[in-house]
Amino acid sequence: MTRVVGKVLTKAKQRDRINAKRKADPKKYQKLNQKAQAKFYKDHPKKVLAWNKEQRLMKYDRFLEQTRTRRKERRLTDQEYVIKDCMRARLRSALLRKGVDKTISTFTLVGCSASSLLQHLNLSDGDEVDHIFAFELYRLQDEDQQRKVGQYSNLQGLTPRENNYKAAKLPTKAMAAKVDPACWPDGITVDMLPDIYPGWATPLRMHARSDAPLPGWVDSDADSDA
């Protein structure tokens, strides 16, 4: 037992002496450490590469988890974040289907800020964002056409059921009247638009609803026209 204690104390004294030397001349020991690291990397390249890869994967996993957590928290409390995320996802999905690259920021296409868009849409509880004239009616290879379909006047709120029914159909005349005429798809005229969809209570909604906005709204990436 005495021998073991003596070895421990001896190692502790050696450690203290080395630490004292490092404090007295830190640059010298920094260079020694760098040389030792370089020699280890040279002698064990596969081990170093494997360790580095493992560390990168661990950091990336932590980053993804933190990002997912932040997004969940923000989606519960920040409507502007939700509308931004929604509009970017819709545009990205539509361009991907057409094999077109995004060349301009989403809200440059929208033509207003996220807060202004929320005021314009006046979304009620459960509403999704619908493109009045669907993406399929525009030539998305053309940046000017992207501006037309993405412009805020071409957006409205519908319930998921209304949105799924409307899909890529031509809008009713009342819906189209909300869109800036300069943003209509090429070749579409008023005479081509229906007055009302079959079974709808009004040209704008499937069921009669109050215009008063409710506290929250639903963002769904399942919007079939986007």
- For residues 190 and 196, what is the distance between their CA atoms, to the nearest angstrom? 13
Are 141 and 87 in the same domain? yes
What tokens does 71 get?
Answer: 């997004």
The residue type found at 11 is: K
Binning pLDDT at 50, 70 and 90, where does residue 135 land? very high
Q: How many domains does the chain have?
A: 2
Are 100 and 165 in the same domain? yes
Whether 58 is in a domain gets the answer no
Q: 172 and 206 in contact (C-beta within 8 Å)?
A: no
Question: Which residue segment(s) compose the domain that 38 sits in?
Answer: 1-43
- Does 225 score more than 70 pLDDT? no
Whether 29 is in a domain gets the answer yes
User: In a 10 Å sphere around its CB, with 0-12 CB exposed, 13-18 middle and 19+ buried, how is residue 162 labelled?
Assistant: buried
- Does 171 score more than 70 pLDDT? yes
Whether 209 is in a domain gets the answer no
Whether 53 is in a domain gets the answer no
Higher pLDDT, 165 or 28: 165
- Does 126 score more than 50 pLDDT? yes
Are 32 and 91 in the same domain? no
- pLDDT at position 208, please? 74
Are 17 and 82 in the same domain? no
Are 39 and 83 in the same domain? no
Are 16 and 106 in the same domain? no
Are 39 and 84 in the same domain? no
pLDDT, average across residues 147-171: 95
Whether 207 is in a domain gets the answer no
Whether 186 is in a domain gets the answer yes
Question: Is this model's pTM higher than 0.75 or not?
Answer: no
- pLDDT at position 16, please? 74
Q: 155 and 121 in contact (C-beta within 8 Å)?
A: yes
- Does 11 score more than 70 pLDDT? yes
Residues of the chain with pLDDT > 90, as a percent, come to: 50
The separation between CA 14 and the C-alpha centre of its own chain, rounded to angstroms, equals 55
* Residue 30, CA atoms < 13 Å, CB-side half-sphere: 5
- pLDDT at position 193, please? 97
Are 101 and 187 in the same domain? yes
Whether 48 is in a domain gets the answer no
What tokens does 188 get?
Answer: 């579409």
The residue type found at 113 is: S
Whether 21 is in a domain gets the answer yes
Are 97 and 22 in the same domain? no
Are 113 and 36 in the same domain? no
- 128 SS3 class: strand
Are 38 and 93 in the same domain? no
Are 15 and 95 in the same domain? no
